[in-house]
Amino acid sequence: MNIKFIAEKAWRQIERPWKLILVCMLGIALVAPFPSDLESYRDDAPSEHPIVIGVEEYGRFINTAAQIGLPIILRDPVGVMQNIYIAFGSTALTHGLKRALDSVVVDETRLGERPNGGRHNMPSGHSSMAACAAYFVGRRYGWKHLFYLGPIVLLTMFARVALDAHTISAVIAGALIGIVGAALFTGRFDSKTVPRNFGELNSFPSVATKCPGYARALVWFGGYCSIDRLASSPDGYQASLLTEVLNRNVARSPG
C-alpha cells in the first residue's frame, strides 16, 4: 500500500476550473457582507415541519455518504485521497471565514450573529458540507448524480434558514464555499484504466509471485495499469513493467 504514490497521483489528477472558482469567490464577496434583518427571522418560531426536521437530522447526510462511499464502491483510491484534501481545504475555508467575519458589523448588524442568537452565522457549515459533497461526486463521477444530490443541497439550505440557524446570505455563502473547497482538489475519474479484480492479475504468474504487494496495490489502490500492455510483454518482464507503471504512472489502456 503505497500511500505516498496515491497521494502524489491524487494531487496530479486535480483539475481546477478557475473560472468557476473565481465566480464563486465573487459571489461570496458579494453575499457575505450583506446585512440581514435578524428581527424579521425572529418574528416566527423555528419550523417544526417534518421535512425540515428530517433533512436536518438525516437527509443532509445523504450527500456526505455518497462522497465517502462512491470512491470505495468504485475502488477509486485517488478519489479517497482527494476527499482527504477536500476535507482539510473546505474545513479551513469555511471555519476560517466563520471566525474572520464573526465580529464584523455591517449596517449595525453583526455578520456572525445567528437569528437564534448564536455565533458564527457566516457562512453556513451545513450548506458548505452538502454543496462540497455534491460538487465532488458530480465532477468526479458524473453530473447525473446531481439529480439527487442537488435537491439535498437546496433542502439543507432551506432547513437551516427555517430553523433560524442561519440567514439566507449565510447559506448561500456556505454553498459557494463548499463548491470552491471541492473544486480546488477534485479531478475526473477514469474508470477504464482501473482493473476490477485481482483475478485479472492471476493470469500473470510473475506479477502475482514476484511483486504481490504491487499487484494488490494495483487492484485496490489504483495503479491504473494497462492489463493489455502487461499481457503483450514477455513473462520475465511483467514484474519490472508493473513496478515501472506504479512508480511513474505512464501506462494507459489502449484506445
- Residues 162 and 198 both lie in one domain: no
Task: Specify burial of residue 78 (Cβ count, 10 A radius: 0-12, 13-18, 19+).
Answer: buried
Domain that holds residue 167: 3-183
- Residues 148 and 235 both lie in one domain: no
Coil, helix or strand at residue 110: strand
pLDDT tens profile 38-77: 888 888 889 899 999 999 999 999 999 999 999 999 989 9
Residue 242's pLDDT is what?
A: 53
Cα 140 to Cα 163: distance, rounded to the nearest angstrom: 32
- Residues 206 and 170 both lie in one domain: no
Cα 109 to Cα 123: distance, rounded to the nearest angstrom: 15
pLDDT tens profile 192-242: 555 444 444 444 444 444 444 444 444 444 444 444 444 444 444 444 545
- Residues 98 and 173 both lie in one domain: yes
Residue 255 lies in a domain: no
Question: Cis peptide leading into 123, omega within 30 of 0?
Answer: yes
Residue 57's pLDDT is what?
A: 94
- Residues 126 and 243 both lie in one domain: no
- Residues 75 and 154 both lie in one domain: yes
Cα 159 to Cα 222: distance, rounded to the nearest angstrom: 39
- Residues 177 and 232 both lie in one domain: no
- The domain total for the chain is 2
- Residues 100 and 174 both lie in one domain: yes
pLDDT tens profile 143-161: 999 999 999 999 999 999 9
